[in-house]
Amino acid sequence: MAYWHRTSPHTFTPTEHVGGAWDQRTQHVAPALGVLAHEVERDRDARRSDGLVISRLSYDILGVIPIEPIDVEVEVLRPGRTIELVQATARHDGRAVVVLRAWLAEPYDTTPLAGTDLPSIPPADEMEPWDMAGLWAGGFIASIEIRRKELGPGRSMVWVRTSHALVADEPVSRLAAVAGLIDITNGIAVRTDPTKVSFPNLDLTAHFLHAPAAGWLGLDTTQSYGAGGIGVTSSKMHDENGPLGTVAQTLTVRP
Assess whether pLDDT exceeds 90 at residue 24: no
* 91 CB-near residues (< 8 Å, 6+ apart): 70, 71, 72, 73, 97
Which residues have C-beta within 8 Å of that of residue 123, sequence separation ≥ 6?
159, 240
Q: Where are the alpha helices (DSSP H) in 73-214?
A: 139-142, 174-179, 185-188
For the segment 203-211, the average pLDDT, to the nearest whole number, is: 97
Residues in the chain: 255
Q: Which residues lie below 8 Å from residue 94, measured CB to CB, with a gap of 6+?
A: none
Task: Report the Cα 158 to chain-centroid distance in Å.
Answer: 15
CB 72 within 8 A of CB 12: yes
- Cβ burial 13-27 (10 Å sphere, 16+ → b, else e): ebbebbbbbbeeebb
Comparing CA positions, the residue from 212, 230, 219 lying closest to residue 160 is 219
pLDDT tier at 250 (50, 70, 90 boundaries)? very high
Is the pLDDT at 217 greater than 90? The verdict is yes
For residue 222, which phi and psi values (nearest 5 degrees)? Answer: -130, 130
- Dist. CA 186–CA 97, nearest whole Å: 19
Q: What is the DSSP string of 227-249?
A: TTSEEEEEEEEEETTEEEEEEEE
Position 3 pLDDT exceeds 90: yes
Q: Identify the CATH class of 2-106+122-252.
A: mainly beta
pLDDT at 105: 98
Residue 17: band (very low, low, confident or very high) from pLDDT cuts 50, 70, 90? very high
